[in-house]
Structure 1
Amino acid sequence: MEPKNRSGRDNFAISGIFLSQLERQQPPSPSVIVIGGGISGIAAARALSNASFKVILLESRNRLGGRVHTDYSFGCPIDMGASWLHGVCNENPLAPFISGLGLRLYRTSGDNSVLYDHDLESYALFDMDGHQVPQQLVIKVGEIFERILKETEKVRDEHAEDMPLLQAISIVLDRNPQLRQEGLAYEVLQWYICRMEAWFAADVDTISLKSWDQEHVLSGGHGLMVQGYYPVIRALAKDLDIRLNHKVKKIIQCCNKVMITVEDGTNFVADAAIITVPLGVLKANMIEFDPMLPEWKVSAISDLGVGNENKIALHFNTVFWPNVEVLGMVAQTSYACGYFLNLHKATGHPVLVYMAAGRFAHDIEKLSDEEAVNFVMLQLKKMLPDAREPVQYLVSRWGTDPDFLGSYSCDLVGKPADLYERFRAPVDNLYFAGEAASVDHSGSVHGAYTSGIMAAEDCRRRLLLQHGISDLFQIVLREEMSEVMVPLQISRM
């Protein structure tokens, strides 16, 4: 008896024979060097490796992940860099991958949170004397802050020239004195500004009025990675040719090839390179280009801002704080405000993470680890006088770490409109990727991931054309692949 699906099997067998012959007829696979082992570089290397390219990934540090860095020294995962999936929805290109790995998310906000990654109801704020701010006041001032920000749109429409967001807020308050706050309410407003600065990793007097709200934020709210981001990095990097402790010092373009020289003098040669090192490293000219990059590329690197945000993670023997997502201290200036992220609520581990952004993040890096911990413990004890001492701590230093020199890109006042497009544009056989190369989602993990995929695709197409290789093999493979959608595992305790 004939199988009912025999014709389908025959077609598949013929397809397999055709592809096998096609592979034998193809010239040698093009070669690509990916510089930087963050999620963008790993995504690019993975895409090209899947396309049967010869790929080597060079990473300056002794670990993968870059600004995605999960530390396990507390006996539980602590993300000292990126922590959230911004946009818990299938629009997010990382969502299917995270779902497939069975990783859990803790949702910290819905779609309309004014502070982006947390809802207004999730805070416990305290003044300098340790008195808790009434929750009704917290919510009321948060709503007023939303109105102030909405009014800045009118200021933007009236002025052709860009200005700092803080200046626009001042104009709004001059026009609308009923929105001004006094006393404790004023301090709460400063705290909201502090939270906004944390989103941009920059101070409000440097944030662009023209650009601050132009990012396309995906739907679904924001989810904290309960098991940390490293499982994503590990899965993407599986079976890739990765060389750790290979700090790139020079990139030479010649005769349709690139030669990469690392710190110990070793050279690597390939048909193309994808550069995914952090923006801060490029701005500091830590990699020499021969020939020099063209002026349009240099100016894009120069004009993009790079922000700074640091974390001080504190591990305790017991939980002594309220069961809220964020513990915050209000003050007369946004610089003097502060807040702790309560990981116990999200993950069940007795950990608080102090967050510092902008100038304050730079100032924190001037302290030793012990001094930084002592400072944030003084803050915590003002809020909670019975606070215990931590048994372990971790301190990030993204701004001064020579492999990063900043946390993520930010929009400076008066930046040209085509800045991100110029930054991501290739220079012959050099391609650029990373969070700063994402036009719509800069500063995010999924933006970095997507930019790596896009750079790999641009590179793949150019090299196939250059080598006279048919793209049919890739087309057939893509048509035969099917994705199984697995729902995201999301909690909200």
Structure 2
Amino acid sequence: MDPKSLFSNFLDGAIASRIESQQRPPPSVIVIGAGISGIAAARSLYDASYKVTVLESRDRLGGRIHTDYSFGSPVDMGASWLHGVCNENPLAPLIRRLGLTLYRTSGDNSVLYDHDLESYMLFNIDGNQVPQQMVIEVGDTFKKILDETEKVRDEHPEDISVSQAISIVLDRHPHLRQQGLAHQVLQWFICRMEAWFAADADMISLKTWDQEHVLTGGHGLMVQGYDPVIKALAKDVDIRLNHRVTKISSGYNKVMVTVEDGRNFIADAAIITVPLGVLKANIIEFEPKLPDWKVSAISDLGVGNENKVALRFDKVFWPNVELLGVVAPTSYACGYFLNLHKATGHPVLVYMAAGRFAYDLEKLSDEAAANFVMLHLKKMFPDASEPVQYLVSHWGTDPNSLGCYSYDLVGKPHDVYDKLRAPLGNLFFGGEAVSLENQGSVHGAYSAGVMAAENCQRFISEQQGHMESVPLSSVSHSILESTIPIQISRM
């Protein structure tokens, strides 16, 4: 064959391939769930010119991020902290660009996790203030107890709970036991630890409880709430609210997603970012059924629960400290109030309950829950006024979440996160639960969504072979050059 003819045929073929590529519709992806993980995935694909449709069961965006404005000021009833106030946090560039401010509640390695022992008051159940020197001394003892649990972990090849380990430590070292009021303060520290995991200490894995990679920079409360972040990520993305997914059918080339009213949505791939609690409840039918290893991974992680009772008052009657605590003989009966007035200037207190107590709180009516919280406040401050408004969360029984965020159960297999995030053909998995190092955090959920989008794009590019791959760029990448510092304060 004439070399010129061969070159001409090759050129014609290349042109034809390019024309076919231009005529082919853009790849399509359905994202299930409009929490920050789903919206981050959708944002990444949308910016890479994919056809993206987000299906969300709620009537709002954000998932377990929910900034309520009914008080006349933003109150986060779900996630409210940025864990790791540093440039390495993947959300930092977006927070800088939006000009959002944070209120730092702790530095690194605080015994209270997201608070320092700097601005607080603790009371017993009768409303008497606990001496601060006692709180500091018991805090030091709590650190020693946790340090000793590392030795217990090394001695036990099988996993046990943090609660069991603490009992072993106290049996070995009676001098670390606390009596009377000091014992109640120790229970309060345990209560704060349980709040970090949203689970009781007898459910938390000793093997992995302290293995999380916590970013540096301490912890910052989002003063304007997380809602501006959600709205910025969701801008221009096709998001369908009130679209509850009931079935996901996947084949080699396409995915069909069925919603509650029977309508079907078809795409090249799907990214599933629904909460782990929803996956555990088998609310969504998969066709074909999920393989046993995926079902086991879903089962082998725990889902914690933490609820908030937010109270707005017409005047401030409490001291200008960041937190108010109630100590008690058991961690279950201990209490914690976040003083939003200190951080935002608005007369709002937020009571938080985690673990079993969070579920028990949901058994009450909202009014009864608010009254219960007010009983604590009136013992601490007899002149306390009644709240003008109150809000109560129900994350554990909300069918759209069925829990707050994930944690490591006792005996968790070492590869559970790998299996949970592993794709199934053209199905990809996001959400905070698949974030190996930062589960339970907003930035962990965000990163998991971006990663799922990257894996999805790689899969589609390979499937369509000759199609040129458009590199994904998350919001953080597009504004990393920003020189605006994160605005953070501590009054």
Q: SS where residue 191 of structure 1 aligns? A: helix
Aligned to 1:51: 48
Aligned to 1:324: 321
Q: Deviations over 1:115-149 (max 9, x none)?
A: 21000122200012211111111111111101100
Closer/same/farther in 2, CA of residues 220 and 477 from structure 1, 3 Å limit: closer
Verify the 8 A CA contact 2:308 2:352 in the aligned structure 1.
Answer: yes
Share of identical aligned residues, percent?
74
Q: SS where residue 31 of structure 2 aligns? A: strand
Q: Deviations over 1:41-88 (max 9, x none)?
A: 000000000111110000001100000000000000000000000000
Q: 1:84 aligns with which of 81, 84, 89?
A: 81
Q: Deviations over 1:332-372 (max 9, x none)?
A: 00011101000000111100000000000000000000110
379-388 vs 430-439, which moves further: 379-388
**In the alignment, residue 113 of structure 1 is paired with which amino acid?**
S
Q: 1:300 aligns with which of 286, 297, 301?
A: 297
Give the alignment of 1:402-481 within 5 angstroms: 402-471=399-468, 473-474=470-471
**In the alignment, residue 85 of structure 2 is paired with which amino acid?**
V
2:91 is the counterpart of 1:106: no
Aligned CA RMSD, in angstroms, stands at 1.8
Closer/same/farther in 2, CA of residues 418 and 110 from structure 1, 3 Å limit: same
**In the alignment, residue 322 of structure 2 is paired with which amino acid?**
E
Aligned to 1:63: 60
Verify the 8 A CA contact 1:340 1:353 in the aligned structure 2.
Answer: yes
Aligned to 2:116: 119
Per the TM alignment, residue 484 of structure 1 is displaced from its structure 2 partner at its CA by: 2.0
Aligned to 1:159: 156
Give the alignment of 1:349-360 within 5 angstroms: 349-360=346-357
Per the TM alignment, residue 476 of structure 1 is displaced from its structure 2 partner at its CA by: 11
2:187 is the counterpart of 1:190: yes
Aligned to 2:344: 347
* Structure 1: stretches of 5+ with no match in the other structure: 1-20
**In the alignment, residue 334 of structure 2 is paired with which amino acid?**
C
When the two structures are superposed, what TM-score results if normalisation uses the length of structure 2? 0.94
Closer/same/farther in 2, CA of residues 146 and 66 from structure 1, 3 Å limit: same
Q: Deviations over 1:247-281 (max 9, x none)?
A: 00000012421000000011000000000001100
Q: SS where residue 136 of structure 2 aligns? A: helix
Per the TM alignment, residue 108 of structure 1 is displaced from its structure 2 partner at its CA by: 0.2
Find the aligned partners of 1:455 and 1:70 in 2 and give their Cα distance: 26
Aligned to 1:484: 482
Closer/same/farther in 2, CA of residues 373 and 37 from structure 1, 3 Å limit: same
Residue correspondences, number: 473
Verify the 8 A CA contact 1:59 1:246 in the aligned structure 2.
Answer: yes
Find the aligned partners of 1:372 and 1:23 in 2 and give their Cα distance: 62
Per the TM alignment, residue 102 of structure 1 is displaced from its structure 2 partner at its CA by: 0.2
Verify the 8 A CA contact 2:433 2:439 in the aligned structure 1.
Answer: yes
Find the aligned partners of 1:457 and 1:468 in 2 and give their Cα distance: 16
Closer/same/farther in 2, CA of residues 174 and 219 from structure 1, 3 Å limit: same
Find the aligned partners of 1:356 and 1:260 in 2 and give their Cα distance: 36
Aligned to 1:12: none
Q: SS where residue 131 of structure 1 aligns? A: coil
Closer/same/farther in 2, CA of residues 78 and 176 from structure 1, 3 Å limit: same
Q: 1:210 aligns with which of 195, 203, 207?
A: 207
Give the alignment of 1:209-358 within 5 angstroms: 209-358=206-355
Give the alignment of 1:11-30 within 5 angstroms: 25=22, 27-30=24-27
Find the aligned partners of 1:174 and 1:79 in 2 and give their Cα distance: 41
Find the aligned partners of 1:430 and 1:346 in 2 and give their Cα distance: 42
Q: SS where residue 68 of structure 1 aligns? A: coil
Per the TM alignment, residue 485 of structure 1 is displaced from its structure 2 partner at its CA by: 3.4
Find the aligned partners of 1:405 and 1:158 in 2 and give their Cα distance: 36
Per the TM alignment, residue 410 of structure 1 is displaced from its structure 2 partner at its CA by: 0.9
Aligned to 2:384: 387
Verify the 8 A CA contact 1:55 1:241 in the aligned structure 2.
Answer: yes
**In the alignment, residue 243 of structure 2 is paired with which amino acid?**
H
376-385 vs 340-349, which moves further: 376-385
Aligned to 1:132: 129
**In the alignment, residue 491 of structure 1 is paired with which amino acid?**
S
**In the alignment, residue 492 of structure 1 is paired with which amino acid?**
R
Find the aligned partners of 2:409 and 2:241 in 1 and give their Cα distance: 33
Verify the 8 A CA contact 2:31 2:272 in the aligned structure 1.
Answer: yes
2:201 is the counterpart of 1:201: no
**In the alignment, residue 485 of structure 1 is paired with which amino acid?**
T
